[in-house]
A and B are shown apart, each in its own frame.
Chain A
Amino acid sequence: MRSHVGANQADGHEDELLGKAYDSRLVARLWEATRAYRRVVLVSAFLFFPIAALELLQPYLLKVAIDSHILRADWGGLTGVAGVFLLTLAGLYALRALQSYLMQLTGQRIMHDLRHRLFAHAQKMDAAFFDKNPVGRLMTRILNDVEAVSDMFGSGVVAILGDLVTVAGVVAVMLAMNWRLALVTFALVPVLAVSAAYFRGQARDAYRGLRTRLARLNAFLQENLQGMTVIQLFCREGAEQRAFVALNSDYRRAQFRSTVYDASLYAVVEAIGSAAVALLLWYGGGQIWEGVLTFGGLVAFIEYTNRFFLPIRDLGAKYAVMQAAMASSERIFGLLDLEPGIRSGAAAARSEAPPIIEFKNVWFAYEGDEWVLSDCSFRVAAGERVALVGITGAGKTTIARLLNRSYEVARGKVLVGGLDVSEWDLTALRRRVGLVPQDVFLFTGSVEANLRLAADGAVRRDALERAAAVANARGFIESLPEGFGYEIKERGANLSQGQRQLLAIARALVYNPAVLVLDEATSSVDPESEALIQDAMERLLEGRTSLVIAHRLSTVQRADRVLVLHRGRVSEEGTHAELLRRGGLYSRLYELQCGR
């Protein structure tokens, strides 16, 4: 296996978590999920009894018709039986229609609820979670797994219950009618049980393989769709197609294996059903000679035998539905059970004044003890404007992420407004600390919607325009075909990189936070626009605490103070001039950039 499947392999492993078709713990939780619809579930389950009764009545009516009326040429009686038969048909139609709808209703509602819960849960998860769980996997939970669970309610578990009721009814009626003949039919049940157990076990393994391979295939596809340009630029179409075909044929093989067992089970059960009819004829024929059995009885028995085997034959398919549902619900609940690594505190902002920011001996690592920050301490006074510089990979973005508590520190404290971020109510904290991330992400939708984001209707249009003007974005927005109504494509694909950044800045200004963190917010903007933005922001940043991360020292020098991040801690700090005089890392960086 090529190692690039690495990240998705986890998904594969997770999808291999597939075992029983029945797991009491999971069933209990699913039962819990039906709480609001329990009455509907119970009614649709209860409907099986009248349905089974009516179904069982039909062969019996046939027997009565043959024995009491047809063989005695009793036309009137036959008409009466036919009338009753018609009633059973009408009743069956009504009951089945009702039941089918109720089952769908439950299934769809549960799907709706689970989707809601999953999506809501994802909104609460922290950044570390998203580092580990690719979007494709989460999408599978929300789309496919949820559907598998709903299928169980729509056709799996409930139908199995129904089948059980039918089979039990058939057995009871057959035993009551003629227990000897009934036992002859049941003689084949052990054969059935053994072959069913064998094929089912095999089918389960096959199904497990199938799921894993499908997950791999889709993960591969999703990523390659996103990186298609790179594939084309590097002329990798051939190599990637080969890898894809390999995954695809793996999948196809697994699928065929699964088909083999399913089909075999089906064929065997059907053959056994026919064999049972043969046995009935053989033994029942004898009984007719002996006068123990009537012709009508024999015919009814043949009918009952068919109805006995039919649900058993289809059990394979329903079993697969159950199994898929169990596996899916395990994954769904697994996700829902994951507590967000970051829990919100309760403190709200205490005043509107710009807060102080402070890092106290912060240690942080994304993974194990690969420390990105080690004993990092610094302080930004209220209303102060501080620049953060450092070589690439030094951990600047990481500091920004810790400030709005996207990740949790390992040791030490991050304080905003004198309060540990872990004590803050998360929403309140993030309302106070606005972040322009290094990777600009725009949503599909209009420019206006992208500027508003969470603000909805609360922000007036002219405020948007003002923010756009400060970010120097107004000019280009107004030159777009529909101005503020221009539809942005996925990830902002139909704008230039710099334009995306300008929008991201404007959006932060609309958000209007007390602390503004700009992470290389103007890295792709031309110097002139940048200078214009700087000037315009000058006023805006007044009365706000701000942290500006930048590589361009021209951006940095307007700051009140500069922090230099090196080897996981702030190694130098002071005003631009002080740092230059000191002749440390900063002055070296600066000299290099100024080319002297």
Chain B
Amino acid sequence: MPERLLLQHLRPYAGRYALGCGFLALASLCALAIPWMVKRAIEALEAGSAAGELQGYVAIILALAAAHGLVRLGSRFAILGGGQAVEFDLRNTLYGHLQKLSLGFYQTHRTGDLMSRASNDLSAVKLLVGFGALSLMATTITFVGTLVAMLAIDPRLTLYAMAPYPLLILLAKRFNSTVHRQSQAVQEQLGALSAQAHENLTGMTVVRAYTMEAGELRHFQRLNAEYLARSLRLARTQAAFSPLLGLIAGIGTLTILWIGGAAVAEKRITLGSFVAFNAYLAHLAWPTIALGWTLSIVRRGLAAMGRIAEILSVEPEFRDAADAVEIAPHVRNAAIEFRNLSFAYEGRGPALRNVTLTIPAGSTLAVVGPTGSGKSTLGALVPRLIDPPPGTLFIGGRDVRGIRLESLRRAVGYVPQDPFLFSRSLRENLALADDAADGKRLAEVARVAGLAEEIEGFLHGWETVVGERGLTVSGGQRQRAALARALLADPPILILDDAFANVDAAKEMEILHALSQVLRGRTTLIITHRLKAAREADWIVVLGEGRIVEQGPHDALIERGGLYARLWRIQQLEEEISRA
């Protein structure tokens, strides 16, 4: 699977690699021709022929050297450049794919881990398709070429010189699997280490407040020590194996020195041939020595590709069906209907049970209920952050699963309970829905969200960069920024998930007031714990353990004397007590 995926990404650059291969062959030819010329030159010297002949060889060698340099350069540009192109494509593909994966995926994969795949693993793949490929091809070509040249000089000597190589292949195989196992163990440990460090650094507020530093350090140290142990295990294998290749190449040379030397002595071959033979063997030595390195690049690269393929093979949960329809951005009839909807997160009991509910177009629905009763789940289903079962959720009379995802999300403005801001400027954060939004429009949504004055008050105004995750603005400012950016898209449907939890009551009233004009004609779902805000809604739904336990307008619910009435009384009572 990873191999196939890799090939798929290599295919567009087949031409480049072929070209590189051609260059490599030429380079190899030049490299082989030089010792041949040296051989001829020495033979000429031995024969004591004219100086002119020697100079001829010298000139040829110089020319070959220049040509060698050039084609060598060509091969590197072609193949390394090709590798970089593959990396480029793969990175784009990976990012593009990640963008298609849903909330569920991001909740089960840690950011640290994804980052390590997208950066470390990708580099390992680049090494494989760049230097690894280059080195593999060069090794093959050099081996074949050198073998031919050696056979041309003396087949018997060649046989002797090659004798240790089968052993080499055997060893390489053994080594290969050991290294694979050990380097996988190292990578895994690195993943664990980086995940812990990442989490510690992001949770520093808590680490600090709860004086966890020493314990965290101990934990890190344990992971760190294990990483060291695993790396050293790998280092031992590599230390034993890599010089072994040099040894085997050296034994070839030794054989030639001994048997070939005897052959020269017996005048079966010339001294020139002997020298050339030696040079050829030396040619083999380098790729042989580098073989260990190349193999580990290949192994690591393939393992890394496997980890990347794992992500790429995660099917996006939501794919537009072939017959999915657009809903115009300003749909008139944006009624929302839940039909006997049940939903459960993986490994958990149902979060919503048999919810049947209609929010008529242009009306406002408030959802209240205890912590964990499924309110946010209900809200997140509408823009399909999580996927409703087929036939349970309808917008404008159409099953949301049959609406093109992009058009659905453009139609739904969603303010999450725990908003995330990018560490970009406030302007960019508010203009997410429309990069081209002008200052007037931005100021307008900021005003409605009750944020305008504060932005003006900031030292850098609209250009204030909000820090990682928006943590350098106050909690309430973050929530209101999230509201403003949702309003900017001017969506016909608006979902506010506890959007004023961190905003003071006065501000909330002010915002709700400003919103009430903006909300006219929009279908709105307000999730809240403050019943004062719920009271204004056209219809109120009370959720309890995933079920609708009561619904109706405020007064009816009060009259009914159920959960809502009780919650209301609690809030009223507290006011009463305090007023007394």
Contacts and interface: CB of A to CB of B under 8 A. Distances in A.
B42 interface: yes
A277 B41 CA distance: 11
Interface in B17-67: 34, 38, 41-42, 45-46, 48, 51, 54-55, 57-59, 61-62, 64-66
Contact of B232 (A104, A255, A576): A104
Contacts, number: 495
A494 B345 contact: yes
A119 B194 CA distance: 11
13 contacts: A3-B428, A6-B423, A89-B254, A112-B224, A143-B190, A286-B51, A299-B42, A368-B459, A370-B458, A404-B208, A434-B209, A481-B349, A502-B371
B385 A233 contact: yes
A178 interface: no
Contacts of B227: 112
Interface stretch (A74-82, A160-168, A320-328): A74-82
Interface size band for A: 35 or more
A293 B257 CA distance: 21
Interface stretch (B149-157, B210-218, B334-342): B210-218
B95 A135 contact: no
A357 interface: no
B239 to A, nearest CB: 4
Contacts of B96: 237, 241
Contacts of B375: 496
Contacts of A374: none
Nearest to A96: B243
A97 interface: yes
Dominant secondary structure at the A interface: helix
Contact of B246 (A78, A92, A120): A92
B310 interface: no
Nearest to A143: B194
B246 A93 contact: yes
A12 to B, nearest CB: 14
Nearest to A102: B239
A236 interface: yes
Contact of A278 (B58, B69, B231, B372): B58
B372 A70 contact: no
Interface in A102-150: 104-105, 108-109, 111-112, 115-116, 119-120, 122-124, 127, 130-131, 134-136, 138-139, 142-143
B247 A123 contact: no
Given A127-B205, A589-B504, A282 B250 contact: no
Instruction: In the A-B complex, list the 10 residue pairs whose CB atoms are closest, starting with the nearest.
Output: A392-B476, A498-B371, A4-B424, A593-B505, A274-B65, A104-B235, A271-B69, A96-B243, A101-B239, A557-B578
Given A295-B271, A430-B210, A454-B211, A589 B257 contact: no
Interface stretch (B74-82, B298-306, B395-403, B547-555): B74-82
Interface in A208-247: 218, 221-237, 239-241, 244-245
Contacts of B428: 2-4
A154 B95 CA distance: 33
A393 B428 CA distance: 21
Given A248-B92, A271-B69, A70 B261 contact: yes
B385 A589 contact: no
A225 B228 contact: no
A33 to B, nearest CB: 15
Contacts of B198: 135, 139
A453 B209 CA distance: 11
B313 interface: no
Contact of A479 (B118, B349, B465, B473): B349
A592 B500 CA distance: 15
Interface stretch (A331-339, A377-385, A416-424, A438-446): A438-446
A192 interface: no
Contact of B502 (A92, A551, A557): A551
A367 interface: yes
B232 to A, nearest CB: 6
A553 B578 contact: yes
Interface string B356-396: 00000000000011111001100000010100000000000
Contacts of A306: 282
Contact of A524 (B102, B504, B529): B529
A166 B530 CA distance: 79
A427 B247 CA distance: 58
A437 B574 CA distance: 25
A6 B465 contact: yes
A538 interface: no
A184 B471 CA distance: 68
A277 B31 CA distance: 12
Interface string A583-596: 00000110011110
Nearest to B473: A393
Interface stretch (A24-32, A256-264, A459-467): A256-264
A346 interface: no
A104 B239 contact: yes
Nearest to B568: A527
Interface string A518-555: 00100111111101000000000000000000011110
A460 to B, nearest CB: 18
Nearest to B406: A235
Dominant secondary structure at the B interface: helix
Interface in A391-440: 391-393, 397, 404, 406, 427, 430-431, 434-435, 437-439
B504 A123 contact: no
Contacts of B421: 227
B12 to A, nearest CB: 15
Contact of B34 (A266, A274, A523): A274
Given A70-B264, A295-B271, A392-B474, A234 B432 contact: yes
B98 A123 contact: no
B566 A528 contact: yes
Given A70-B274, A278-B65, A223 B423 contact: yes
A564 B448 CA distance: 25
A282 B201 contact: no
Nearest to B240: A97
Interface in B404-446: 406, 409-410, 412, 414, 416-418, 420-425, 428, 432-433, 435
A62 B278 contact: yes
A108 B235 contact: yes
A108 B228 contact: yes
B107 A443 contact: no
A116 B224 contact: yes
B114 interface: yes
B261 A78 contact: yes
Interface string B457-494: 01100010101110111111100100001000100000
B262 A441 contact: no
B221 interface: yes
Contact of A7 (B58, B193, B409, B465): B465
B475 A438 contact: yes
Contacts of B531: 527
A368 B247 CA distance: 66
B509 A92 contact: no
B370 A551 contact: no
Contacts of B217: 119-120, 123
